[in-house]
Amino acid sequence: MGPIFQLPTATNDKLGSKNWGMGPSVVVLNIEGHWVYGALVNNVFSIGGSDPTYRVGLLQPFVNYNLPDGLYLTAAPIITADWKAAGADVWTVPLGGGMGKLWRLGSKGLPVNTQIQAFGNVVHPQNGPNWQLRLQVQVLLPKSMF
């Protein structure tokens, strides 16, 4: 549990706000054998600035099933809410999943996590996308490397 901060980094007014934002964030996680599951929840409120204000929420339930050789099946849809939108335009609710692999690179075995997930948006704003594709590459820096 802790704070979340949103910085005004958009390069175009259509891509984001010039306002800073902050709010509460919490994550819960459980590991049982091959299963890893939990959820991330946060809500961000704009603060200051002359741009239109915003109030947005995020819920990301996640589940991984770990397979041999660093492979895993995963589903981590990012459900969002624009609390200032009208009617059915408030929610974006994706449904789907994908797979990933943990690799070790170099002589020191630097861990790298790669994954791909695809989602159909079963609920979305009128002008929102029908689907999402997430490609992810993460370099993991364990304490033992330092």
> What pLDDT was estimated at residue 146?
66
> What pLDDT was estimated at residue 3?
96
In single-letter form, the type of residue at position 49 comes to: G
Burial 80-109 (b: 16+ CB within 10 A, else e): bbbeeeeeeeebbbbebbbebebeeeeeee
| HEC secondary structure over 33-100 | CCEEEEEEEEEEEEECCCCCCCEEEEEEEEEEEECHHHEEEEECCCEEEECCCCHHHCEEEEEEEEEE
Task: Please tell me the pTM assigned to this model.
Answer: 0.87
- Please state the rounded mean pLDDT for residues 68-74: 97
Higher local confidence (pLDDT), 120 or 51: 120
Residue 14 has pLDDT above 90, yes or no: no
- Please state the rounded mean pLDDT for residues 11-39: 94
Residue 104 has pLDDT above 70, yes or no: yes
CA 95 distance to own-chain centroid: 14
Q: Percent of the chain beyond pLDDT 70?
A: 99
> What pLDDT was estimated at residue 17?
85
pLDDT tens for residues 134-146? 999 999 988 876 6
In single-letter form, the type of residue at position 67 comes to: L
